[in-house]
Structure 1
């Protein structure tokens, strides 16, 4: 799992980072199926957590489980640096969201190449919410990557409803379309929605995090 290291929204004092439920929901999907999970981020160490994701209304059962899981908490506090990670050592890669990825993972060469290495090796790549922003750098390295591919990610409408559209450099839906992706979303904002196109699996929003992981597990099976 590749997590963001970015904590700042633009033109504001508001903080962002990893949306904690988009990490914990997939993490326990993988752990409960007996997968070994390695955590990485551009800077290594503990990633910033979006404070909004820790509010009571955004807490999931997996968040509560995580609070009692010392092994998982230690892993999150000590993520590997991306330059220590090779696609050859893993079966798949998963990118959780939070607004952080649209700043750092979207521009990170190591992350972009990692995605291409997984796909070229016939290994799946999954991302949820703003996690698909990592595909932007991969598509810049290989412009054919997203051409005509069915994908989803946090929608323009959801960005508007979340009231952060003016605090980010671009909207993910627009950028994915500009790169040639065949973007789809749920009829209702914040409803769970997952797209799979070959080895690429994307989820739309926080509620899609677990189902995106389930789709990845099914593909690995």
Structure 2
């Protein structure tokens, strides 16, 4: 079987609103999927600016007792220090089988409205590829429209970081928008979440090619589903 290729898109944004507090992509949302996917597929890492993609230091602290996250930080930094510029992948969806957006608060500020990301999601979807996001990575879906002008997630079940989870960490005040609220609006009320905050929840929708996970605890489960769909 030919090796499958997955394009992983990290945020280039490193500050939380006007607070001066560092942010970026969230450690376990890249680390956990990496260890699920890397033994089986080829991974290419991109970001809007290319080069260094900022790792949220708060996520390093929060997951300092998680062995995979610790190992990832200690041994895999080349993955996020040398990302390829996102724009260079325009017109190349045929080279890949899936695109995946880890979260962290960074995507709320750049990937939500990045024109190259929006164009890539359209290209990947219309080429029959898998489009997947976890947690705030779903910010990349909030302006993602298809060639007919409709939202990719229109009338489609979808998930991402819940408002109650944002409130629980007291970050709602810094967000440019509330992800759950926006996803629920553009999906026509189809936003889903777990019965309890922070529980894993993965949504498989729209031809089994739109795969979304709610929060950091969903990242590994989402990656398992991505791998299953790649091998289907």
Aligned residue number for residue 200 of structure 2: 192
Map 1:1-150 → 2, pairs under 5 A = 1-32=8-39, 34-57=40-63, 59-69=65-75, 72-85=76-89, 86-139=92-145, 142-150=149-157
> 3-state DSSP class of the match of 1:185?
coil
User: Per the alignment, do residues 118 and 77 of structure 1 end up closer, same or farther by CA in structure 2, a change over 3 Å counting?
Assistant: same
Say whether the 8 Å CA contact 1:21–1:59 is kept in structure 2: no
Following superposition, the deviation at residue 179 of structure 1 comes to 1.1
More helix, by proportion: 1
User: Per the alignment, do residues 68 and 99 of structure 1 end up closer, same or farther by CA in structure 2, a change over 3 Å counting?
Assistant: closer
> 3-state DSSP class of the match of 1:145?
coil
CA distance in 2, matches of 1:75, 1:50: 15
> 3-state DSSP class of the match of 1:54?
helix
Following superposition, the deviation at residue 65 of structure 1 comes to 2.4
Aligned residue number for residue 161 of structure 1: 168
Following superposition, the deviation at residue 35 of structure 1 comes to 0.7
Aligned residue number for residue 204 of structure 1: 214
Following superposition, the deviation at residue 193 of structure 1 comes to 0.5
CA distance in 2, matches of 1:15, 1:2: 19
What TM-score, normalized by structure 1, do the two folds share? Answer: 0.93
Aligned residue number for residue 5 of structure 2: none
Say whether the 8 Å CA contact 1:3–1:39 is kept in structure 2: yes
User: Per the alignment, do residues 79 and 57 of structure 1 end up closer, same or farther by CA in structure 2, a change over 3 Å counting?
Assistant: closer
CA distance in 1, matches of 2:151, 2:45: 28
RMSD: 1.5
Name stretches of at least 5 consecutive residues in structure 1 with no aligned partner: none
What TM-score, normalized by structure 2, do the two folds share? Answer: 0.89
User: Per the alignment, do residues 128 and 44 of structure 1 end up closer, same or farther by CA in structure 2, a change over 3 Å counting?
Assistant: same
Is 1:214 aligned to 2:224, yes or no? Answer: yes
Is 1:175 aligned to 2:185, yes or no? Answer: no
CA distance in 1, matches of 2:42, 2:126: 22
The total of aligned residue pairs comes to 218
Name stretches of at least 5 consecutive residues in structure 2 with no aligned partner: 1-7
Say whether the 8 Å CA contact 1:5–1:17 is kept in structure 2: yes
